[in-house]
Amino acid sequence: MHLRAPWIAVLIAISLTGCSGKDSSGPTATPSPSIETATATSAPPSPSVSATPGEPRVQITGMFRGEPPAGSQPAPLTRSLAPRPESAFAPWDGTTSVIYDTATNRQFDIGYASLVVFSPDSARAAWIAGTSTAAATVMNLATGEVRTYAEGTNVGFLDERRLAVYQASTSTWKVFDLDTGQLSADQSLRSGQAQPGFPSYPPSPAGYYWQFVPDPSTALPRGWAGKNDFRLIEIATGETALRFDAVFAAPAGPGEIVVATTLEGVMTNIFVVNVQTGRAEFISRTRYGQGPNWPLSATARYVLWTDNFCYSEGIDQQGRVQLFDRAARTQTDVDDGTPPAADRYARLTPGNLIAWGSFGASALIDPVSLAFATVLPEPSPPNRLWSPDFRYASYGLVGGHGGLC
């Protein structure tokens, strides 16, 4: 399905702060998020300085540093990715914004517009249909119905029912009810939504947000730290669910987080922690590499990361993507056929596929067969965005940014 409209492009520059690499210039509609746009990861924002909630409800048990007990970590088995097929989608024209439906192989060409963002339930898509200040437009992805809201220069979803539109004239976000089109009675942006439409960093589990303070004595290159004081805060109550020291943490399966312990050189231990009980499940001891963009992700079935990510000095070079099967307790060393310095950025989707590629995945891979399930078209923009369920992907014009490493 193709929808066209004579709109002029809005170039929203999605910057990667603290990263090396040559930046290309382009008009910027609003202050840009500092994220890796696959599912939300890249250079982190400043840690929260708000009032600290109380003591955690439970303590984490079973998490340790140093060498794991003998026999607790499987030897990785190397397997190769299947050959990458051609995309089922038509080549991108390099100009207009397009939404790709990977379930039906349909594409929605929405003309000249900003990069499309998706609602938390993956039911709607939104964009700015104009040059610098233009109407915020929302599409129902199931029906194709399109509705316009107030004018602005950027747009994002706060939740399934509220849309935020950035208005540069007042430097504020205005919040609208998606069903009525009227201003919402609740104009607040909750913690982690300073840039609506884009995920926070580090990514947090549903119903929670992170509050973290880095230890400056453990500072790593490009703005991260080997030790951070993490608090997982419950949004509904404001209470601290868990508190721990780690180099990184992210969502895992339902009611779980994945944690990488404080660095010992480049080494860290990965655990999956139950939020309610605090019980930690050991996954693997591995090399972290150089922060801040380490792609550690997890679901109830798998844990995925890149060994020694972004490290390229001497012989201690970046390793390959590692896939841990939690049920079978097996670890796969994924050979993608590229040299050690390649951009090996991959994350797990909620449906247990591997989203492969930086600044928004360019392909989805089946973790069992290592065959490609979905391949997006060429040429590829510098940024791609996916819906939370990874059914829909969007292409569009954006500004440049530095690299992950």
Residue 370 and residue 82 in contact, taking contact as beta carbons nearer than 8 Å: yes
Mean pLDDT of 133-138: 90
Per the DSSP assignment, residues forming a β-bridge with 147 are 138
Residue 282 and residue 271 in contact, taking contact as beta carbons nearer than 8 Å: yes
| φ and ψ of 218, to 5 deg | -110, 25
Mean pLDDT of 67-91: 96
At position 147, the amino acid (one-letter code) is R
Mean pLDDT of 371-382: 95
Question: pLDDT tens for residues 156-172?
Answer: 998 899 999 998 888 88
Question: pLDDT tens for residues 243-257?
Answer: 999 999 999 999 999
Distances (CA, A) of 147 to 63, 110, 129, 150, 172: 50, 13, 11, 10, 22
Q: Which two tokens stand for residue 243?
A: 């508190």
Distance in Å from the first CA to the final CA of the chain:
38
- pTM of the prediction? 0.85
**How high is the pLDDT of residue 404?**
85
Domain ranges of the chain: 77-86+200-375
186 or 313, higher pLDDT: 186
